Amino acid sequence: MGKQKQQVISRFFAPKPKTTNPSSSSSSSFPPSSSSSANPHHPPTPPPKITATVNFSPSKRTLLSSHLTSSSPKPSKLPKLSPHTHNPIPTAPNPSLHQKFLQKLLEPSSDVPEPSPSSNPPAKFTPLEQQVVDLKKRYPDVLLMVEVGYKYRFFGQDAEIAASVLGIYAHMDHNFLTASVPTFRLNVHVRRLVSAGYKVGVVKQTETAAIKAHGSNRSGPFGRGLSALYTKATLEAAEDVGGKEEGCGGDSNYLACVVDKSVALENVDGGVDSGIEVKIGIVAVEVSTGDVVYGEFNDNCMRSGLEAAVLSLSPAELLIGDPLSKQTEKILLAFSGPASNVRVEHVSRDHFNEGGAFAEVMSLYENMDGDDLTDHPKIDTDVKEQSTIRLGIEGIMNMPNLAVQALALTVRHLKQFGLERILHLGASFRPLSSSMEMTLSANALQQLEVLKNNADGSESGSLLQSMNQTLTIFGSRLLRHWVTHPLCDGNMICARLDAVSEIAESMGSSKAQNIEQLDAEDSFVTNWKPELNYILSSVLTTLGRSTDIQRGITRIFHRTATPSEFIAVIQAILYAGKQLQQLQIEEEGSKENLRGKTVRSDLLRKLICTASSSTVIGNAARLLSTLNKEAADKQDLPNLIISDGQFPEVAEARMEVQMAKKKLDSLISLYRKQLGMRKLEFISVSGTTHLIELPLDVKVPSNWVKINSTKKTVRYHPPDVLTALDHLALANEKLTITCRAAWDNFLSGFGKYYAEFQAAVQAVASLDCLHSLAVLSRNKNYVRPVIVYDDEPVQIHISSGRHPVLETTLQDNFVPNDTDLQADREYCQIITGPNMGGKSCYIRQVALIAIMAQVGSFVPASSAKLHVLDGIFTRMGASDSIHQGRSTFLEELSEASHILHNCTARSLVIIDELGRGTSTHDGVAIAYATLHNLLQQKKCMVLFVTHYPKIAYIRTEFPGSVEAYHVSYLTSNRDMDTVGMQSENEDVTYLYKLVPGVSERSFGFKVAELAQLPSSCIRQATIMAARLEAVVNSRARNRHGKNWLLKSLVTDQKKEAQDEMLESPECLRVGWSPVLEETNGGAYQKFFINLKAAIIDVDDPVKSCQYLNHARSIARELISR
């Protein structure tokens, strides 16, 4: 017998496909969820692949088929379709389970016409399914997780998605495909679905068994309602899933809303920016921290400003305010591509015209008096909150119009999640761009690899990764903002540098030891230095091991924190405050001697005072005294709040529970008398309480309910006990509800402390960043830069500068370079040199050192003296945007245009190989013109890398301001006669050192060898290059010879004419003046003018003598020549 065949049965267990029949679609699946439309980059979710393998012989298959066809009568009408595959199923009268299986196994694969809608009776839903259908109609774009017992279940298309994303089993149950997950894994599965880009809703039971038994819904299903919504931007602030098991962790999760408006602007310069531009409004909210960024700006057709803003914020979710221009939407959708996993949702802003947006935002403040200010009337903080509200309203009124529209859309979106309170009470609004900070463009962030490397897009190998030595998650988030927004105020930069220096000295560095030796007589000064670092390190290390307290206090503000999380966050803040108080920072205004201070830096003192404020410590201790930590750890909500009169309703509910227990316990005396048993007691068995256990021979009233029994005893519940137990359960439910309400009120009262707690956490985050910069400077031997103020010329002086990222990789093998730029001297360097010689590395390192200095960090150099720059602009690399219809060369020129329109005399511009995307002549011309404009119009600091040596000729137009440099190299000895093969025969050693001069060679063939191009290609290219070079040199020699001959001929002819002219007396005539002016620099002309004047002025002998003497001196000078 031959080998049996195998058939994979996937259709037998496959879920129901979507049918095109609208009348029957509701019985098999929900309408298509718009969550997929809100996330257009996710492909349609395939059904879960569930397969089984069945072995059978061909003869057996034939036998089974014939048996089924013979036993099944032919249908007289359209056959019934399989609910899984829509293939016809042979019908049989009362078929057995085995026959059903075989029918599904052997059903034909040919398609048949769909039955008419009238032949399908309407589906009959179970009560639970009807609840789900109703919820799905209300929330069509939400993936619903429905609480059913100890599981969360998915239904219909949601089950298909969950099976695909979570890798769980989906099966048919009644009318719907369904899948489920256990309740205790809610956190994990919600995070996975949200990370996949879905909007997830959790549906919970709104009543317990005890309440349901006493309500009107005794016989119906449990009431259910949507209790929480989750997306990527709101996940960390939402209830039940807070934490960082799986998800974004310490990254920022901004919700960014973008709107725009077309405006017509006339641009005098023309170019790319001329014509119609757009005005863009943006609001980005970090719901989990309360950070709100807003801005409105004009942008060009390339949307370079929007690209920079989005890249800097890196939002997890985008709200697109329709209608939106196509180019703006294209940029946003490109950012939220499949690789980025950013969720996109479209919202309409039509109803926000003519003041509607402002009214929507102001609606936040309408109900505040009732909701937030009267929960705790004993706390006298209403005046402060009213002042905060007034300032908030004034700030919103001063916001630009489009920013208000974006804020209104954000408010309406967050109302779905119940998180809108953060915008009117707990948010810290800051503008997108500020005069105190430098806003790096998208090109600068990408091409300098500030946040991510260009290889794989990860943080490894970026400037942020090399600088990040923070110990806390919230400190890491703040350092990211510092790096992407360097300071533009010299005093603030110096304040940070002073703080970093002091912390570094307290770590025992060599500089600190020298200071200690100088001040050896003062023992107090030598003792405080290690104490500062020890306390900071211990506090930050402890906070780094605990929960994210910045997001924790915001979750408390949102009233989504659990009791254990609340206690952990407040205890961490209390611990940090008490530890920092050991530094004994005096309050401002105290006249303490500087030498007696434990901390000298004003910035450090301010931050430590804020983090260790006595108000914060007192409020933290007061809040913790209200809660029972053991009950919080056990999630025992009824015993959580220590009643001290603050919540009288909790004390009343507890009293009712105690009275119900007392009444229940008092019943035992009645049964003792009734049964004549003095030692009778209630017992509890397997969770069932207040049982009366009696021997088998004891007779009891007939209305006693038998619960269980053993061989010798029977356990009963008398009717009075059942009634008392019912009352006790109801009292416990009421206590739970009361405690939940009290807990919510308690969390609402935290809003009065939120601002000061947030300031304390922000101060700790700043201390973490400063400590990180100090650790960086000590571990990598960085030096403190000298910041030059505005009264001095713009300058960049770096001695032995190093690339902060490559230095870590190469360590001692990295070759440092000097940089010397100054506005009143040399402010432009034209850099040439061979490929892979280190040109791009050099200009990047100058830009990165400037960024680090303005962040407040020490820099990788032996010394550095820098002016405060207002911008760093880059044009490096080659890239295109095919999806936006932009070629590589257009990208180059767009970036160059952005630089020319936005840089100033206080900017640093680095340009790498501009013009290489087109022909040589056009590229050289465009590069030359761009550099000429920067030097003549902008006069900014410029580092210009090129492979066009002719561009270096611009030095003649700007002497002293422009110099040419090249990266040095060594080549092996070669035969100069074999010019055509020199590139193939010689070896090149790159020295990576910047030296004056222009490099005439690029050694592109050596790079071709490294790239492992075929040797035949390299050989042919070498021959071709030699021929081209010979032709060019020949033309140059011919041109030089012709010019020399022509010049010599003209010189001889001119000399003969001058001799003839001087020999003739006609030279004294008026018409010869131009000829004399060209002769010997005009000396002959001056001689004859003086001689003529002496002849004319014969009446005045004195003047005539003066003219003659002057003519004589000129004649002597001509003779001496």
The C-alpha angle 584, 585, 588, rounded to 5 degrees, equals: 145
Which CATH number covers residue 982? 3.40.50.300
479 found inside a domain: yes
Evaluated on CA atoms 192, 193, 197, 202, the torsion sign reads: negative
Q: Which two tokens stand for residue 468?
A: 């990040």
733 found inside a domain: no
DSSP state of 620: H
pLDDT in tens, 93-141: 455 655 655 565 555 444 444 444 444 556 688 888 898 999 999 999 8
* pLDDT for res 1097: 67
Distance CA 874, CA 889 (A): 15
Q: Which of 191, 214, 230 is the last residue of a domain?
A: 230
Question: How many Cβ atoms are within 10 Å of 249's Cβ, its own excluded?
Answer: 13
The percent of residues in the chain predicted with pLDDT above 70, rounded, is: 73
* pLDDT for res 384: 55
Distance CA 750, CA 760 (A): 15
Question: How many Cβ atoms are within 10 Å of 63's Cβ, its own excluded?
Answer: 12
Residues 631 and 601 in one domain: yes
Q: Is pLDDT above 80 for 1098? A: no
pLDDT in tens, 873-899: 999 876 656 655 667 778 888 888 889
Residues 797 and 766 in one domain: no
Q: What is the DSSP string of 537-601?
A: HHHHHHHHHS--HHHHHHHHHTT---HHHHHHHHHHHHHHHHHHGGG-PPPTT----GGG-S---
Q: Is pLDDT above 60 for 91? A: no
Sheet containing strand 143-148, strands side by side: 171-173, 176-182, 151-155, 143-148, 200-205, 224-230
Q: Is the peptide bond before 563 cis (omega within 30 degrees of 0)?
A: no
Stated as kind and residue range, the H or E segment containing 874 is strand 871-875
**Which residues in 1027-1065 are b (16+ Cβ under 10 Å) and which e?**
eeeeeeeeeeeeeeeeeeeeeeeeeeeeeeebeeeeeee
Strand bridging mode 962-971 / 828-832: parallel
Measuring CA to CA, which residue among 498, 576, 503 is closest to residue 533? 503
417 found inside a domain: yes
- 357 in Cβ contact with 404 (< 8 Å): yes
| Arithmetic mean of pLDDT over the chain | 78
161 found inside a domain: yes
Q: Is pLDDT above 80 for 796? A: yes
Measuring CA to CA, which residue among 242, 342, 245 is closest to residue 551? 242
Residues 791 and 838 in one domain: yes
Measuring CA to CA, which residue among 158, 833, 827 is closest to residue 846? 827
Distance CA 923, CA 928 (A): 8
3-state secondary structure of 716: strand
Residues 919 and 1008 in one domain: yes
Question: How many Cβ atoms are within 10 Å of 953's Cβ, its own excluded?
Answer: 13
3-state secondary structure of 8: strand
Residues 218 and 263 in one domain: no
Distance CA 283, CA 767 (A): 28
696 found inside a domain: no
- 543 in Cβ contact with 549 (< 8 Å): yes
Measuring CA to CA, which residue among 282, 280, 291 is closest to residue 237? 291
Distance CA 63, CA 53 (A): 20
Candidate from 597-611, 648-662, 1067-1081 with smallest mean pLDDT: 1067-1081
Which CATH number covers residue 308? 3.30.420.110
Three-state SS letters, 904-946: CCCEEEEEECCCCCCCHHHHHHHHHHHHHHHHHHHCCEEEEEC
Which CATH number covers residue 478? 1.10.1420.10
Instruction: Give the range of the structural domain holding residue 385, as residue numbers without chain letter.
Output: 255-432
Q: Is pLDDT above 80 for 517? A: no
Distance CA 8, CA 10 (A): 6
Q: Is pLDDT above 50 for 981? A: no
Distance CA 206, CA 147 (A): 10
Distance CA 637, CA 338 (A): 43
For residue 321, what are the β-bridge partners? 347
pLDDT in tens, 800-838: 999 999 988 887 889 999 999 999 999 999 999 888 888
Distance CA 248, CA 825 (A): 50
pLDDT in tens, 842-857: 999 999 999 999 999 9
3-state secondary structure of 445: helix
pLDDT in tens, 369-386: 444 444 444 444 455 556
Residues 790 and 837 in one domain: yes
Locate all alpha helices (DSSP H) within 196-295, ordered by sequence: 209-213
720 found inside a domain: no
Residues 481 and 386 in one domain: no
Contacts of 762 (CB under 8 A, 6+ apart): 478, 550, 610
Question: Burial, 338: exposed, middle or buried (Cβ in 10 Å; 0-12, 13-18, 19+)?
Answer: exposed
Stated as kind and residue range, the H or E segment containing 800 is strand 795-801
Q: Which of 1012, 1030, 1055 is the last residue of a domain?
A: 1012
Q: Which of 416, 432, 448 is the last residue of a domain?
A: 432
Q: Domain count for the chain, please give it.
A: 5
Average pLDDT, integer, range 303-313 = 85
Distance CA 133, CA 125 (A): 9
pLDDT in tens, 661-717: 999 888 888 888 888 888 889 999 888 888 999 998 888 888 999 998 898 899 999
Q: Is pLDDT above 50 for 54? A: no
Question: Burial, 436: exposed, middle or buried (Cβ in 10 Å; 0-12, 13-18, 19+)?
Answer: exposed
Question: Burial, 711: exposed, middle or buried (Cβ in 10 Å; 0-12, 13-18, 19+)?
Answer: exposed
Task: Give the residue, 59 or 1034, on which the prediction is more confident.
Answer: 1034
What is the identity of the amino acid at 760? A
Length of the chain in residues, anyone? Answer: 1121
Q: Which two tokens stand for residue 118?
A: 């009238």
DSSP state of 995: E
**Which residues in 895-904 are b (16+ Cβ under 10 Å) and which e?**
bbbbbbeebe
Residues 390 and 306 in one domain: yes
Average pLDDT, integer, range 464-483 = 93
1077 found inside a domain: yes
* pLDDT for res 430: 85
Distance CA 313, CA 216 (A): 52
Distance CA 376, CA 617 (A): 20
Q: Is pLDDT above 80 for 643? A: no
* pLDDT for res 24: 40
Q: What backbone torsions phi and psi does residue 295 show, to the nearest 5 degrees?
A: -175, 160
Strand bridging mode 317-322 / 291-299: unpaired
Candidate from 18-22, 164-168, 396-400 with smallest mean pLDDT: 18-22
Average pLDDT, integer, range 595-623 = 87
Residues 837 and 813 in one domain: yes
The C-alpha angle 144, 149, 150, rounded to 5 degrees, equals: 90
With tokens 């530890």, the residue in question is 579
Measuring CA to CA, which residue among 839, 820, 914, 929 is closest to residue 873? 914
Residues 330 and 370 in one domain: yes
Residues 422 and 477 in one domain: no
Distance CA 245, CA 489 (A): 40
Contacts of 793 (CB under 8 A, 6+ apart): 822, 823, 824, 867
Average pLDDT, integer, range 47-72 = 45
Q: Where are the beta strands (DSSP E) in 30-124?
A: 52-56
Q: Is pLDDT above 60 for 462? A: yes
* pLDDT for res 166: 93
Q: How confident is the model at residue 488 (pLDDT cuts 50, 70, 90)?
A: very high
Locate all alpha helices (DSSP H) within 750-885, ordered by sequence: 754-780, 806-810, 839-855
Task: Give the residue, 866 or 16, on which the prediction is more confident.
Answer: 866
- 866 in Cβ contact with 797 (< 8 Å): yes
Q: What CA–CA distances, in Å, run from 986 to 972, 1000, 1008, 1018, 1024?
A: 5, 16, 14, 14, 17
Q: Which two tokens stand for residue 66?
A: 């014939």
Q: Which two tokens stand for residue 446?
A: 């990408």
- Number of Cα atoms under 13 Å in the Cβ half of residue 807: 23
Residues 390 and 259 in one domain: yes
* pLDDT for res 16: 46
The C-alpha angle 899, 903, 906, rounded to 5 degrees, equals: 145
CA 164 to chain centre: 27
1030 found inside a domain: no
Region of 763 on the Ramachandran plot (φ > 0 left; ψ -120 to 50 alpha; else beta): alpha
Q: How confident is the model at residue 1089 (pLDDT cuts 50, 70, 90)?
A: confident
